[in-house]
Amino acid sequence: MSQKSFNWADQSVIVTGGSGFLGAHLVAHLQELGAGNIIVPRKKDYDLREKEAIIQLYEDYPDTTMVVHLAATVGGIGANREHPGLFFFDNIMMGTQLLEYARRYNIPKFVGIGTICEYPKFTPVPFKEEDLWNGYPEETNAPYGLAKKMLLVQAQAYRQEFGYNAIHLLPTNLYGPGDNFDPQSSHVIPAIIRKMMEAMDAGEDHIVLFGDGSPTREFLYVKDAARGIALGAAYYNSSEPVNLGSGYEISIRDLASLIAELVGFDGEIRWDTSKPNGQTRRQVDSSRAEREFGFKATTSLRDGLREVIEWYRVAREQERQQATS
Protein backbone atom coordinates (compact mmCIF):
# COMPACT_ATOMS: atom_id res chain seq x y z
CA MET A 1 0.00 0.00 0.00
CA SER A 2 1.46 3.34 -1.06
CA GLN A 3 0.27 6.24 1.04
CA LYS A 4 1.82 8.78 -1.35
CA SER A 5 -0.74 8.19 -4.07
CA PHE A 6 -3.69 9.96 -2.42
CA ASN A 7 -3.89 13.71 -2.96
CA TRP A 8 -6.07 15.42 -0.36
CA ALA A 9 -5.75 18.71 -2.25
CA ASP A 10 -8.04 17.24 -4.91
CA GLN A 11 -10.77 16.41 -2.38
CA SER A 12 -13.93 18.30 -1.53
CA VAL A 13 -15.15 16.64 1.66
CA ILE A 14 -18.46 16.95 3.48
CA VAL A 15 -17.92 16.13 7.16
CA THR A 16 -21.27 15.71 8.91
CA GLY A 17 -20.91 16.36 12.61
CA GLY A 18 -17.77 18.32 11.75
CA SER A 19 -18.34 20.82 14.55
CA GLY A 20 -18.70 18.08 17.17
CA PHE A 21 -16.08 16.43 19.35
CA LEU A 22 -14.55 13.96 16.88
CA GLY A 23 -15.57 16.04 13.88
CA ALA A 24 -13.64 19.12 14.96
CA HIS A 25 -10.47 17.06 15.36
CA LEU A 26 -11.02 15.35 11.99
CA VAL A 27 -11.56 18.68 10.23
CA ALA A 28 -8.37 20.04 11.79
CA HIS A 29 -6.47 16.95 10.66
CA LEU A 30 -7.85 17.16 7.11
CA GLN A 31 -6.77 20.79 7.01
CA GLU A 32 -3.27 19.71 8.03
CA LEU A 33 -3.32 17.14 5.22
CA GLY A 34 -4.19 19.91 2.75
CA ALA A 35 -7.75 18.91 1.86
CA GLY A 36 -8.94 21.11 -0.97
CA ASN A 37 -12.34 21.97 0.46
CA ILE A 38 -14.02 20.90 3.72
CA ILE A 39 -17.76 21.45 4.17
CA VAL A 40 -19.26 21.23 7.65
CA PRO A 41 -23.07 21.34 7.42
CA ARG A 42 -24.68 22.94 10.47
CA LYS A 43 -27.92 21.61 11.90
CA LYS A 44 -29.64 25.00 11.65
CA ASP A 45 -29.05 24.90 7.89
CA TYR A 46 -29.40 21.16 7.20
CA ASP A 47 -31.42 18.88 9.46
CA LEU A 48 -29.88 15.61 8.29
CA ARG A 49 -32.84 13.58 9.50
CA GLU A 50 -34.85 15.14 6.69
CA LYS A 51 -34.53 13.97 3.07
CA GLU A 52 -35.06 17.46 1.67
CA ALA A 53 -32.18 18.85 3.74
CA ILE A 54 -29.82 16.16 2.48
CA ILE A 55 -30.83 16.78 -1.13
CA GLN A 56 -30.27 20.50 -0.59
CA LEU A 57 -26.83 19.83 0.92
CA TYR A 58 -25.71 17.81 -2.09
CA GLU A 59 -27.23 20.38 -4.47
CA ASP A 60 -25.36 23.17 -2.69
CA TYR A 61 -22.01 21.37 -3.00
CA PRO A 62 -22.07 19.60 -6.39
CA ASP A 63 -18.27 19.13 -6.50
CA THR A 64 -18.19 16.92 -3.39
CA THR A 65 -15.84 13.94 -3.79
CA MET A 66 -16.29 12.34 -0.36
CA VAL A 67 -18.75 12.27 2.54
CA VAL A 68 -17.50 11.42 6.02
CA HIS A 69 -20.56 10.78 8.15
CA LEU A 70 -19.82 11.51 11.81
CA ALA A 71 -23.08 13.19 12.85
CA ALA A 72 -24.88 11.17 15.53
CA THR A 73 -27.30 11.47 18.41
CA VAL A 74 -25.32 9.83 21.18
CA GLY A 75 -24.79 9.72 24.94
CA GLY A 76 -23.80 7.54 27.88
CA ILE A 77 -25.73 4.72 29.55
CA GLY A 78 -28.23 7.05 31.20
CA ALA A 79 -29.05 8.91 27.99
CA ASN A 80 -29.36 5.65 26.04
CA ARG A 81 -31.82 4.25 28.58
CA GLU A 82 -33.88 7.44 28.59
CA HIS A 83 -34.01 8.01 24.82
CA PRO A 84 -33.79 4.66 22.97
CA GLY A 85 -36.40 5.69 20.40
CA LEU A 86 -34.80 9.06 19.69
CA PHE A 87 -31.34 7.52 19.37
CA PHE A 88 -32.63 4.88 16.96
CA PHE A 89 -34.65 7.22 14.75
CA ASP A 90 -32.14 10.06 14.48
CA ASN A 91 -29.20 7.82 13.67
CA ILE A 92 -30.90 5.52 11.21
CA MET A 93 -32.56 8.37 9.30
CA MET A 94 -29.36 10.37 9.01
CA GLY A 95 -27.24 7.45 7.89
CA THR A 96 -29.70 5.82 5.49
CA GLN A 97 -30.59 8.96 3.57
CA LEU A 98 -27.10 10.46 3.49
CA LEU A 99 -25.75 7.29 1.90
CA GLU A 100 -28.66 6.84 -0.50
CA TYR A 101 -28.42 10.37 -1.88
CA ALA A 102 -24.61 10.29 -1.97
CA ARG A 103 -25.05 7.35 -4.35
CA ARG A 104 -27.72 9.13 -6.38
CA TYR A 105 -25.54 12.23 -6.70
CA ASN A 106 -22.56 10.12 -7.76
CA ILE A 107 -20.33 11.26 -4.91
CA PRO A 108 -17.32 8.96 -5.35
CA LYS A 109 -16.87 7.79 -1.74
CA PHE A 110 -18.89 7.54 1.47
CA VAL A 111 -17.13 6.96 4.80
CA GLY A 112 -19.58 5.72 7.44
CA ILE A 113 -18.47 5.97 11.05
CA GLY A 114 -20.02 3.26 13.19
CA THR A 115 -19.70 2.46 16.88
CA ILE A 116 -18.35 -0.21 19.17
CA CYS A 117 -21.95 -0.55 20.39
CA GLU A 118 -22.68 -2.52 17.20
CA TYR A 119 -20.97 -5.57 18.66
CA PRO A 120 -22.94 -8.34 20.43
CA LYS A 121 -23.23 -8.16 24.21
CA PHE A 122 -21.21 -11.35 24.54
CA THR A 123 -18.31 -11.06 22.13
CA PRO A 124 -14.95 -12.79 22.58
CA VAL A 125 -12.26 -10.30 23.54
CA PRO A 126 -10.64 -8.75 21.59
CA PHE A 127 -13.61 -7.97 19.34
CA LYS A 128 -12.92 -9.05 15.76
CA GLU A 129 -14.92 -7.67 12.86
CA GLU A 130 -16.02 -11.22 11.99
CA ASP A 131 -17.95 -11.38 15.31
CA LEU A 132 -20.28 -8.46 14.56
CA TRP A 133 -23.25 -10.72 13.76
CA ASN A 134 -22.80 -13.35 16.47
CA GLY A 135 -25.46 -11.99 18.85
CA TYR A 136 -27.57 -9.04 20.00
CA PRO A 137 -25.91 -5.84 21.29
CA GLU A 138 -25.84 -4.86 24.96
CA GLU A 139 -29.41 -3.84 25.82
CA THR A 140 -28.71 -0.38 27.23
CA ASN A 141 -27.42 0.90 23.89
CA ALA A 142 -28.81 -1.62 21.39
CA PRO A 143 -31.15 0.83 19.56
CA TYR A 144 -28.26 3.21 18.92
CA GLY A 145 -25.84 0.41 18.01
CA LEU A 146 -28.27 -1.28 15.63
CA ALA A 147 -29.16 1.98 13.89
CA LYS A 148 -25.48 2.57 13.18
CA LYS A 149 -25.02 -1.06 12.18
CA MET A 150 -27.62 -0.68 9.45
CA LEU A 151 -25.23 1.77 7.78
CA LEU A 152 -22.80 -1.14 7.39
CA VAL A 153 -25.53 -3.34 5.88
CA GLN A 154 -26.53 -0.56 3.50
CA ALA A 155 -22.92 0.10 2.49
CA GLN A 156 -22.34 -3.56 1.71
CA ALA A 157 -25.62 -3.85 -0.19
CA TYR A 158 -24.83 -0.75 -2.27
CA ARG A 159 -21.37 -2.02 -3.11
CA GLN A 160 -22.86 -5.35 -4.19
CA GLU A 161 -25.70 -3.92 -6.30
CA PHE A 162 -24.37 -0.57 -7.51
CA GLY A 163 -20.60 -0.92 -7.13
CA TYR A 164 -20.73 2.07 -4.80
CA ASN A 165 -17.61 2.80 -2.74
CA ALA A 166 -18.87 3.03 0.84
CA ILE A 167 -16.76 1.92 3.81
CA HIS A 168 -17.55 1.42 7.50
CA LEU A 169 -15.13 2.24 10.33
CA LEU A 170 -15.68 1.28 13.97
CA PRO A 171 -13.87 3.51 16.49
CA THR A 172 -13.84 2.29 20.06
CA ASN A 173 -14.67 4.62 23.00
CA LEU A 174 -13.23 8.08 22.33
CA TYR A 175 -11.87 10.72 24.69
CA GLY A 176 -9.78 13.86 24.45
CA PRO A 177 -9.81 17.67 24.43
CA GLY A 178 -13.21 19.09 23.52
CA ASP A 179 -15.11 16.09 24.90
CA ASN A 180 -18.69 16.42 26.17
CA PHE A 181 -18.70 17.16 29.91
CA ASP A 182 -22.49 17.60 30.24
CA PRO A 183 -23.49 15.48 33.29
CA GLN A 184 -26.68 14.36 31.51
CA SER A 185 -25.04 12.95 28.38
CA SER A 186 -21.28 12.59 28.90
CA HIS A 187 -19.40 9.32 28.62
CA VAL A 188 -17.36 7.76 31.40
CA ILE A 189 -14.03 9.64 31.20
CA PRO A 190 -15.41 13.21 31.18
CA ALA A 191 -18.06 12.20 33.73
CA ILE A 192 -15.43 10.94 36.19
CA ILE A 193 -13.14 13.93 35.63
CA ARG A 194 -15.99 16.37 36.24
CA LYS A 195 -17.24 14.58 39.36
CA MET A 196 -13.78 14.53 40.90
CA MET A 197 -13.04 18.18 40.16
CA GLU A 198 -16.42 19.29 41.49
CA ALA A 199 -15.94 17.19 44.63
CA MET A 200 -12.53 18.81 45.19
CA ASP A 201 -14.01 22.28 44.73
CA ALA A 202 -16.77 21.51 47.25
CA GLY A 203 -14.43 19.86 49.77
CA GLU A 204 -16.32 16.56 49.56
CA ASP A 205 -14.61 13.37 50.65
CA HIS A 206 -16.15 10.99 48.09
CA ILE A 207 -17.80 10.59 44.72
CA VAL A 208 -20.31 8.00 43.52
CA LEU A 209 -19.95 6.19 40.19
CA PHE A 210 -22.33 3.87 38.33
CA GLY A 211 -22.06 0.09 38.65
CA ASP A 212 -19.33 -1.82 40.46
CA GLY A 213 -16.30 -0.76 38.42
CA SER A 214 -15.62 -4.22 37.01
CA PRO A 215 -16.42 -3.67 33.29
CA THR A 216 -13.48 -3.03 31.00
CA ARG A 217 -13.19 -0.59 28.16
CA GLU A 218 -10.70 0.38 25.48
CA PHE A 219 -10.29 4.10 24.94
CA LEU A 220 -8.98 5.75 21.77
CA TYR A 221 -7.55 9.25 21.92
CA VAL A 222 -9.59 11.47 19.63
CA LYS A 223 -6.62 12.73 17.59
CA ASP A 224 -5.57 9.13 16.93
CA ALA A 225 -9.16 8.41 15.82
CA ALA A 226 -9.11 11.38 13.44
CA ARG A 227 -5.88 10.16 11.91
CA GLY A 228 -7.31 6.63 11.55
CA ILE A 229 -10.45 7.90 9.82
CA ALA A 230 -8.39 9.99 7.40
CA LEU A 231 -6.20 7.00 6.55
CA GLY A 232 -9.26 4.81 5.98
CA ALA A 233 -10.92 7.50 3.89
CA ALA A 234 -7.84 7.78 1.71
CA TYR A 235 -6.70 4.19 1.33
CA TYR A 236 -9.46 1.72 2.24
CA ASN A 237 -11.96 0.64 -0.38
CA SER A 238 -13.64 -2.56 0.74
CA SER A 239 -16.96 -3.80 2.09
CA GLU A 240 -15.62 -5.28 5.34
CA PRO A 241 -15.90 -3.13 8.49
CA VAL A 242 -12.70 -2.03 10.24
CA ASN A 243 -12.05 -1.50 13.95
CA LEU A 244 -10.09 1.53 15.16
CA GLY A 245 -8.71 1.04 18.65
CA SER A 246 -5.74 1.64 20.93
CA GLY A 247 -5.03 -1.97 21.90
CA TYR A 248 -5.27 -1.20 25.65
CA GLU A 249 -8.05 -2.52 27.91
CA ILE A 250 -8.69 -1.13 31.40
CA SER A 251 -11.39 -1.68 34.03
CA ILE A 252 -13.58 1.27 35.00
CA ARG A 253 -12.33 0.86 38.58
CA ASP A 254 -8.69 1.16 37.48
CA LEU A 255 -9.60 4.01 35.15
CA ALA A 256 -11.19 5.92 38.04
CA SER A 257 -8.05 5.38 40.14
CA LEU A 258 -5.83 6.64 37.33
CA ILE A 259 -7.97 9.74 36.79
CA ALA A 260 -7.97 10.40 40.55
CA GLU A 261 -4.16 10.29 40.53
CA LEU A 262 -3.90 12.67 37.57
CA VAL A 263 -6.59 15.07 38.85
CA GLY A 264 -5.29 15.02 42.42
CA PHE A 265 -8.49 13.66 43.97
CA ASP A 266 -7.74 11.71 47.16
CA GLY A 267 -11.32 11.07 48.30
CA GLU A 268 -13.22 7.78 48.35
CA ILE A 269 -14.71 6.31 45.18
CA ARG A 270 -18.05 4.67 45.99
CA TRP A 271 -19.90 2.40 43.57
CA ASP A 272 -23.66 2.46 43.12
CA THR A 273 -24.40 -1.15 42.21
CA SER A 274 -28.10 -0.37 41.69
CA LYS A 275 -27.02 1.28 38.42
CA PRO A 276 -26.13 -0.77 35.32
CA ASN A 277 -22.57 -1.69 34.42
CA GLY A 278 -23.13 -1.83 30.69
CA GLN A 279 -21.24 -4.38 28.59
CA THR A 280 -18.84 -6.55 30.62
CA ARG A 281 -15.74 -6.17 28.44
CA ARG A 282 -14.76 -4.14 25.40
CA GLN A 283 -11.51 -4.31 23.52
CA VAL A 284 -11.11 -4.51 19.77
CA ASP A 285 -8.66 -6.19 17.45
CA SER A 286 -7.31 -3.35 15.29
CA SER A 287 -4.98 -5.49 13.19
CA ARG A 288 -7.12 -5.07 10.06
CA ALA A 289 -6.72 -1.28 10.22
CA GLU A 290 -2.96 -1.60 10.54
CA ARG A 291 -2.78 -4.16 7.75
CA GLU A 292 -5.15 -2.43 5.31
CA PHE A 293 -4.24 1.24 5.71
CA GLY A 294 -1.40 1.53 8.20
CA PHE A 295 -3.26 2.81 11.24
CA LYS A 296 -1.87 2.30 14.73
CA ALA A 297 -2.70 4.42 17.78
CA THR A 298 0.28 6.27 19.27
CA THR A 299 -1.13 8.07 22.36
CA SER A 300 -0.98 6.27 25.71
CA LEU A 301 -4.03 6.45 27.99
CA ARG A 302 -2.04 8.27 30.69
CA ASP A 303 -0.77 10.90 28.26
CA GLY A 304 -4.19 11.34 26.66
CA LEU A 305 -5.88 11.72 30.05
CA ARG A 306 -3.34 14.36 31.08
CA GLU A 307 -4.24 16.37 27.98
CA VAL A 308 -8.00 16.17 28.44
CA ILE A 309 -7.76 16.99 32.16
CA GLU A 310 -5.63 20.05 31.41
CA TRP A 311 -8.04 21.08 28.63
CA TYR A 312 -11.01 20.81 31.01
CA ARG A 313 -9.23 22.77 33.76
CA VAL A 314 -8.69 25.63 31.33
CA ALA A 315 -12.28 25.41 30.03
CA ARG A 316 -13.69 25.48 33.59
CA GLU A 317 -11.59 28.50 34.50
CA GLN A 318 -12.77 30.33 31.39
CA GLU A 319 -16.38 29.53 32.31
CA ARG A 320 -15.81 30.91 35.84
CA GLN A 321 -14.29 34.11 34.50
CA GLN A 322 -17.15 34.61 32.06
CA ALA A 323 -19.70 34.02 34.84
CA THR A 324 -18.11 36.67 37.07
CA SER A 325 -17.35 39.26 34.38
User: Residue type for 125, please?
Assistant: V
Between 279 and 245, name the one with better pLDDT. 245
Question: Which residues, in sequence order, are CB contacts of 271 under 8 Å at separation 6+?
Answer: 208, 209, 210, 211, 212, 213, 253
Over 90: is that where the pLDDT of 75 sits?
no
What is the pLDDT at residue 282? 87
What is the pLDDT at residue 79? 76
Of the chain, the end-to-end C-alpha distance in Å amounts to 55
State the average pLDDT over residues 265-276: 94
pLDDT in tens, 82-94: 889 999 999 999 9
pLDDT in tens, 119-140: 999 999 999 999 999 999 999 8
What is the DSSP code string of 38-90?
Answer: EE---TTT--TTSHHHHHHHHHH-TT--EEEE-------HHHHHH-HHHHHHH
Spatial separation of the C-alpha atoms in residues 57 and 52, rounded to whole Å: 9
Between 80 and 171, name the one with better pLDDT. 171
For domain 8-324, give its CATH number from 3.40.50.720, 3.40.50.2000, 3.40.50.620, 3.40.50.300.
3.40.50.720
Residue 237: band (very low, low, confident or very high) from pLDDT cuts 50, 70, 90:
very high
What is the pLDDT at residue 185? 76
Residues linked to residue 171 through DSSP beta bridges, in sequence order = 244
Q: Where are the domains of the chain?
A: 8-324
pLDDT in tens, 175-216: 999 999 988 778 899 999 999 999 999 999 999 999 999 999
What is the DSSP code string of 182-200?
Answer: -TTT--HHHHHHHHHHHHH
Residue 172 phi, psi dihedral angles, 5° rounding: -80, -170
Active-site residue list: 144
Helices then strands, each counted (H, E), the chain: 10, 11
Q: How does DSSP classify residue 133? A: T
Residue 3: band (very low, low, confident or very high) from pLDDT cuts 50, 70, 90:
low
Spatial separation of the C-alpha atoms in residues 222 and 219, rounded to whole Å: 9
Residue 4: band (very low, low, confident or very high) from pLDDT cuts 50, 70, 90:
low
